[in-house]
Amino acid sequence: MDTQAFRRTLHHSNNYNRRGFGRANEVASTLENAYQCDLIQQIRANNDKLTQGRLTIHLAEAFGFCWGVERAVAMAYETRRHFPKERIWITNEIIHNPSVNRHLRQMGVLFVPIMEGRKDFSAVEQGDVVILPAFGATVDEMQLLNQRQCTIVDTTCPWVSKVWSAVERHKKRDFTSIIHGKVKHEETLATSSFAGTYLVVLNLEEARVVCDYILSGGDRQAFLERFKHACSLEFDPDRDLVRLGVANQTTMLKTETEAIGRLFEQALLRRYGPTSLKEHFLAFNTICDATQERQDAMFSLVEEKLDLMVVIGGYNSSNTTHLQEIAMERGILSLHIDAPERIGPGNAIEHKPLGQNLERLSPFLPEGNITVGVTSGASTPDRVVGETIRALFEIANDGSPDERF
C-alpha cells in the first residue's frame, strides 16, 4: 500500500488528533505535581552537584524527560480531561516508565492487552478513544483503528515520524532500508511497517555480517536464517543488498548508528566504486537530538571521578540501557534501576545488569566519602530521579537525610 498517502488521509480525518485539545493549562499543575521535583532544581542551580555528609551526587547535564516525552504525556492527560466519560485506550505504554504508566491506569486509561505475543484489539470498539504512544504505531494498527472509527490521538514523537519519512524516501527510490534498532521494539516495528524492503541490524557485529555478504557473498540460507525475524517478507540478500538507505531507532547509541552508516557506505564504495556510490547508498540524519544530548552528557559525566553510576529508567527503555553501556565501557560500576523503591532497606539495591535478570547487591555504597553519578533515560520524570537521590543520601548518612531535602 501507499503508506505515505494513508498517513496524509489519516491526518485529515475528523477522528484524528495530533495537536492536543487546547487544555494544556488545565493539566499543567497536575503534571507538575506528579513529575517535577524541587530537589532537582536545587542541584541544577548548584552546577549539577550536591554534597550531603559523605555523599556527593553529580547529575548529568542532560537527563530525563525530553520534549517528545513531555508532549506525549501531556497529550495523554489532556485526552483524559477532554473525554471524561469515554473509554480511552493506549496501544502500548505511553513511554517506558512504570510510574507514568501507573498514573494513567489510575486515571482509568486502558492498555491494549498482549495475547500470545500479539496485541489484542478485540475489545476496542467504535467510538472509543485510542492514544498512539510516543514510539508510534504500525500501519496495520492505525488502519484497524481508522476502520473502526475510533478517535485517534497520536502522540508519536516528531523525531520518530522523521525516521518514517526517511524510509518512505528509501522505498520511493527502490532502496532497501537498513534500520539500526531492536527488532521487537515498538518504534522499530512501526518504522519497518512504513518501509518497503528492509533489514534490521542490532549492532556493529550484525552490520559487519551484512557488509561481508555485500562484498563476498556467502551462504544465502544461513544469512536468511540469521535474519529471519529482522527482514521484510521475501527478502533476498542477493537482490536486496545492492541499493541501501540507513535509518535508525531514535533511541539507539548515536556513535554506533554513525559507525554502522560508515560501514555500509565503505562496503558499497568498495563494491561499486566512488562514481556509482550515490546510486547505491543513501543516508539521512535520523538521530534524535534529545537522545544525542543525553548520551553526550553521559560521555562528559563519566570523565569525572566517580565511584558509582546510577542510571534510572524503565528496564525496557532502549535509551536508558545505552546510557548504562557508556558507563560500563569506562569501567565504572553502573546500576540500572527503574524506581527509587529498588533502593534499600539498608545498604542494598535491586538492579538490572545489562542483558541480565534483576539481582540484589548489598552493600552497594562503599565506605568513606563517595561520588555517585546520576542520570536517567528520556522517559524518567524528575520526581523519580529526586526520590532516588534522597534514598541515596539517606543510606549514605545512616538514615538521617538533611531536613532541607
Angle 370-374-378 from CA coordinates, rounded to 5°: 175
Residue 199's closest CA among 159, 244, 168? 244
Do you know the residue count of the chain? 405
Encode the chain in three state secondary structure. CCHHHHHHHHHCCCCEECCCCCCHHHHHHHHHHHHCCHHHHHHHHCCCEEEECCEEEEECCCCCCCHHHHHHHHHHHHHHHHCCCCCEEECCCCCCCHHHHHHHHHCCCEECCEECCEECCCCCCCCCEEEECCCCCCHHHHHHHHHCCCEEEECCCHHHHHHHHHHHHHHHCCCEEEEECCCCCHHHHHHHHHCCCEEEECCHHHHHHHHHHHHHCCCHHHHHHHCCCCECCCCCHHHHCCCEEEEECCCCCHHHHHHHHHHHHHHHHHHHCHHHHHHCEEECCCCCHHHHHHHHHHHHHCCCCCCEEEEECCCCCHHHHHHHHHHHHCCCCEEEECCHHHECCCCCEEECCCCCCCEEECCCCCCCCEEEEEEECCCCCHHHHHHHHHHHHHHHCCCCCCCCC
Cα separation values, 193 from 115, 120, 187, Å: 20, 18, 10
Active site residues: 187
